[in-house]
Amino acid sequence: MKTLSLITLLLLTSHNLLSQEKNFIDHPYIETTANSDTLVVPDNIYITIVLNESDSKNKKSTEELETTLEQTLKKLNINTQKDLSLLDYSSDFKKYFLKGQNILKSKNYSLLVHDAVIAGKVLAALENVGISNVEIAKTEYSKAEELVENLKSSAILKAKKYANKLANPIGQKVGKAIFISDTSSTPFNLQGQVAGIQIRGAASIYGNRATEPILIDFQKLKFETQVTVRFTLE
């Protein structure tokens, strides 16, 4: 009985959908597709910093390296409480147990900065204090969601403009939209990637312990949306 009821419900639903589609097709309409895109400079730059006792040839503990790291970043007016976070903590117990050596500890940090200039200053400053296990992990645009919504609105307006251009030569006007489809690909496909980085200065990087500024150029992030809209013809 339940199976029969389910089949009946599916048949009714299919019939309603077909009726709606037929009613829709019966209306004279015009369909256009439009794109809207832009390039933006990333304003969230994540830098991974690894503090490892072995990097300093065991001359400094991770605690000492942490103090040096925090002091160096504060000199650059970076809010370490807000923008510096600990990713993980590890110790090489295997070496300790097998060789009887001191435990070699390491800590991984993530630092958030908001422009390429500060990122370059961080790389140079940390290298100067002996912290060189540093890399740019990913980039993002903080207002990506708002940007994408604005691009979709722009694409819809373009779609209507195209529709009017097509309808005018035949003496017709574009009416209300009766169907809108967002056919965009993933708008955040470049978020998180760091392709296209160019580093200049500091003998790229750090030949002869160079002290000149490090200039970093980030590839701009491209955001693109696409919509398909059907308008009635009057």
Of 42-51, 102-111, 202-211, 224-233, the least confident: 202-211
What confidence tier does 60 reach under pLDDT thresholds 50, 70, 90? Answer: confident
Q: What pLDDT, on the 0 to 100 scale, is given for residue 95?
A: 45
Q: Say if residue 179's pLDDT is above 80.
A: yes
Of 3-17, 77-91, 130-144, 219-233, the least confident: 3-17
Q: Could you tell me the CA-to-CA distances from 2 to 6, 9, 12, 16 in Å, in that order?
A: 6, 11, 15, 21
What confidence tier does 199 reach under pLDDT thresholds 50, 70, 90? Answer: low
CA 23, CA 30: separation in Å to the nearest integer?
A: 15
Of 54-68, 94-108, 167-181, 205-219, the least confident: 94-108
Condensed to tens digits (0 to 9), the pLDDT of residues 9-34 reads 444 444 444 444 555 556 789 999 99
Q: Which fold has domain 44-140?
A: Alpha-Beta Plaits (3.30.70)
Q: Say if residue 36's pLDDT is above 60.
A: yes
The half-sphere exposure of 188 on its side-chain side, counting CA atoms within 13 A, is 13
The half-sphere exposure of 85 on its side-chain side, counting CA atoms within 13 A, is 7
DSSP alpha helices (H): ranges in 129-180? 144-167
| Domain range annotation of the chain | 27-41+142-234, 44-140
Q: Say if residue 61's pLDDT is above 90.
A: no
**What's the whole-number average pLDDT of the chain?**
78
Of 42-51, 52-61, 66-75, 191-200, the least confident: 191-200
Q: Phi and psi at residue 225, in whole multiples of 5°?
A: -125, 155
Mean pLDDT of 37-43: 91
Q: Could you tell me the CA-to-CA distances from 99 to 88, 104, 106, 111, 175 in Å, in that order?
A: 25, 12, 18, 34, 81
Instruction: Yes or no: say if 131 and 60 are a contact pair by the CB < 8 Å rule.
Output: no
Q: Which fold has domain 27-41+142-234?
A: Translation Initiation Factor IF3 (3.30.110)
